[in-house]
Amino acid sequence: MTLLTGFTAAPTWMRGQAWRRADSRVEELLSGAPIVDAVVLAEQAGFDAVFRPDALTLPIDTIREDPAHLGLDPVVQAAQLAAATHRIALIPTVSATFSEPYPVARQLVSLEHLAPGRIGWNVVTSRTGDGQFSVARLPDSAARWRRAEELIDAVESLRAGFPAAALRADRTDGTLVDPALVRPSDHAGEHFRVAGPLPLPGAVPEAGAAPRRLPLLIAGGGPAQALAGRRADAVFAAAVEPMAGRAQRSAIRDAAAAAGRADPPRLLPGLSLLLADTREQARELARTSAPAGAGRPPGGPHWTVIGTPEDAVASIAERARHGGLDGFIVFPIGWWRSVELVCGAVMPRLRELGLIASEPHPDPFTTRQETHE
């Protein structure tokens, strides 16, 4: 088994007090340029995908000293990254709790035109954010995940309603769009009513390929695992300890089997890496640049390695041997050097060990793709 590798599109190396370092580039944060440079390095290193987490609240009590909750909108940032990269898959986060299908579908299809074949989405339900929206957050987790599944269905219906083949642009007979191929969605469900179609066609698929559903990442446990088992290509998980990873991987495989799937979603734990050339240097950086908050380790709610690139490789290899993951999503922390060491030292060593593919997969997130009817 080779591991699927994801990289964050959040400025995690600036978090805590690390933004105060001279090399943090915190002054450029809202230009997006430091993220672009990090993701370009990740693409060159062979990462399969870049993942942009998101939150819908700004904790005023932390922003004086920590940039963790600052940043560009995930879809806007994905558009910037689409122009700067060539191969890596781009996975922005969408809150199903507050989003409506039409604008989500329009944004995602627009991204597909900017980066054909490289767009997926991470569907989450929100625990906060009520003050930002007029729509009420559903009171229980199971209901929020039912809304999420309906959002997925409605978005895919909108994507399918205006196929790429309908855009003919035939100058000879004067046909720009063949309206016979465009159909409304007319979705009417428990949570959404949307007519469609979108004002733009789907991206042109590869020659002879049928339109496909977007690669889907699900983040969360409990009711999220049931949805992931039915629909997702991968699951982003917080699994600090190896046993937690094994348990979550087993749970989503059981959910996939219950849904009649032979190809379960891949479990991708978050992996915070504070790397340096020596363990002593890494530990000192953890103490000064990425201090733990109240009750939280320096790496946050994720599996964390503080040490050298070889320490990171050994930790990944150990979890892979014991079936605790199908891949990982890396969050470099502490300083910019963590980004460089992840890309320049960890990834080549994993490749040497056969833990990641010698060449990145052209369609990394897809374990099950259904064609549109």
Q: Write out the DSSP string of 312-330.
A: HHHHHHHHHHTT--SEEEE
Model-level pTM?
A: 0.94
pLDDT confidence of residue 51? 95
Q: Letter for the amino acid at 222?
A: G
- Residue 93 among known ligand-binding residues: yes
Q: Residue holding tokens 């986060």?
A: 93
8 A C-beta contact, residue 71 and residue 77: yes
How remote is the C-alpha of 140 from its chain's centroid?
24
Please tell me which residue, 153 or 55, carries the higher pLDDT value.
153
- C-alpha closest to that of 46 among 364, 366, 367, 308: 364
The fraction of the chain above a pLDDT of 70, given in percent, is 94
pLDDT of 208 > 60? The answer is no
pLDDT in tens, 352-363: 999 999 888 878
Rounded CA separation 247/59 (Å): 32
Sequence-distant contacts of 165-174: CB under 8 A, at least 24 apart: 166/201, 167/201
Rounded CA separation 38/66 (Å): 20
8 A C-beta contact, residue 302 and residue 238: yes
pLDDT confidence of residue 368? 55
| Tokens describing residue 196 | 């469609």
pLDDT confidence of residue 363? 81
Q: Letter for the amino acid at 304?
A: T
pLDDT confidence of residue 129? 87
pLDDT confidence of residue 223? 82
Rounded CA separation 85/9 (Å): 13
Tell me phi and psi for residue 218, to 5 degrees: -115, 135
Beta bridge partners of 217: 122, 234
Instruction: Tell me the pLDDT of the chain averaged across its residues.
Output: 92
Average pLDDT over residues 166-176: 96
The fraction of the chain above a pLDDT of 90, given in percent, is 78
Rounded CA separation 301/304 (Å): 9
pLDDT band at 205 (very low <50, low <70, confident <90, very high): low
Rounded CA separation 340/346 (Å): 9
Q: For the chain, give the number of residues.
A: 373
Question: Roughly how many angstroms between the first and final C-alpha of the chain, as a whole number?
Answer: 32
pLDDT confidence of residue 373? 43
pLDDT confidence of residue 365? 75
pLDDT band at 371 (very low <50, low <70, confident <90, very high): very low
pLDDT confidence of residue 86? 96
When mean pLDDT is compared over 107-121, 195-209, 218-232, the highest value belongs to 107-121
pLDDT of 207 > 60? The answer is no
What Rg value do the Cα atoms of the chain yield, rounded? 21
8 A C-beta contact, residue 155 and residue 92: no
Q: Give the DSSP H or E segment for 90.
A: strand 89-95
pLDDT in tens, 329-354: 999 999 999 999 999 999 999 999 99
pLDDT in tens, 243-265: 999 999 999 999 999 999 999 99
* Strand 49-52 with 193-194, pairing: unpaired
Sequence-distant contacts of 179-185: CB under 8 A, at least 24 apart: 185/154, 185/157, 185/158, 185/161
8 A C-beta contact, residue 13 and residue 335: yes
8 A C-beta contact, residue 263 and residue 293: no
Q: Letter for the amino acid at 339?
A: V
Q: Is the peptide bond before 197 cis (omega within 30 degrees of 0)?
A: yes
pLDDT confidence of residue 138? 85
For CA atoms 136, 141, 147, 153, give the dihedral sign: positive
pLDDT confidence of residue 268? 97
Beta bridge partners of 188: 193
- Residue 125 among known ligand-binding residues: no
pLDDT confidence of residue 222? 78
To 10 degrees, what angle do helices 242-258 and 223-231 make? 60
8 A C-beta contact, residue 365 and residue 267: no
pLDDT in tens, 274-333: 999 999 999 999 988 866 665 567 778 899 999 999 999 999 999 999 999 999 999 999
Name the CATH code of domain 4-352 (choices 3.40.109.10, 3.40.50.1000, 3.20.20.30, 3.10.20.30): 3.20.20.30
pLDDT confidence of residue 135? 82
